[in-house]
Amino acid sequence: MSQSVRHAAVASVKKHFKFDTAEAAALADETVVTEEMADLAPGAEEASDSSSDDEAPEEEGLEVVRAAAKSSESVRAAAVKHAREQERARRAQQHQRYAEQQEHKRQQEEELRVSEPKAAGDTESEVEELPEDFFEELEELPKPIATRPTKINFNEVGEQYAEPLRAELKKQKKKTLKSLRKRTMKRGPVLVSVLSPVGARSAQPPKKETAVLNVKDKWLRRSALKRK
């Protein structure tokens, strides 16, 4: 292409046949400039070709980026859709379970409502079928006799009776020691305890202790028993 431009420039110069020296010199300069421009033309064309070649990879890179962005957007949309479907399925399952529970509860209440009148009717029929002399025989049955405890637990004595009992026990202890001293006799260097005759011990009843009986009566008639 550069050679054709050069030949065209030379042909334009050859068309002029008669010129002066100045015009010939100017024409020669124009011819040189034209040839230089023709020599520079291939470089310009190559530069334009190289620039177009450089722009092609950039366009390819932009296409790749656009494709990647579009792919990631589609993946994200698919993930969001899947999550929504799972949430919808979970809510549907919960709703179904709640409906089943309510239905089961309603059935139980219905069964209970039906069974209550039936049970009441059975009870009334049983009462109606009782014999006429049932209540009379019930009144004639022997009543259980309320037994009183024969043993007295002095550990359960109230505080108001504890002190008199202690005093009475001390008094009885002193009397017992005194009676033992009376039966003790000195025989030489030793002390001998003399027992009462066997017949006297078995035949004679114990002496009545008024103080002990009074304390006992107070304890048996204490207000904590709440007698009627």
pLDDT of residue 98: 92
Higher pLDDT, 222 or 157: 222
> Which among 15, 9, 61 has a CA at the least distance from the CA of 38?
9
- Listed in sequence order, the residues at least 6 apart from 38 whose beta carbon sits closer than 8 Å to its beta carbon are 2, 5, 6, 9
Percent of the chain with pLDDT over 70: 47
pLDDT digits (tens, 9 = 90+) for 104-119: 998 888 888 887 766 6
Segments of 85-187 assigned E as strands: 184-187
Q: Two tokens at 116?
A: 């209550």
- Cα separation, 211 vs 214, in Å, equals 5
Asked if pLDDT for residue 18 goes beyond 50, the answer is: no
Average pLDDT over the chain reads 69
Asked if pLDDT for residue 62 goes beyond 70, the answer is: yes
Q: Two tokens at 215?
A: 């304390």
- Cα separation, 94 vs 75, in Å, equals 29
pLDDT digits (tens, 9 = 90+) for 148-162: 555 555 565 566 666
pLDDT digits (tens, 9 = 90+) for 94-107: 999 999 999 999 88
Measured CA to CA in angstroms, residue 118 lies from 105, 113, 129, 223 at distances of 20, 9, 16, 52
| Per-residue three-class SS string for 22-41 | HHHHHHHHHHHHHHHHHHHH
pLDDT of residue 87: 92
Sign of the alpha-carbon dihedral angle for 151, 155, 157, 161: positive
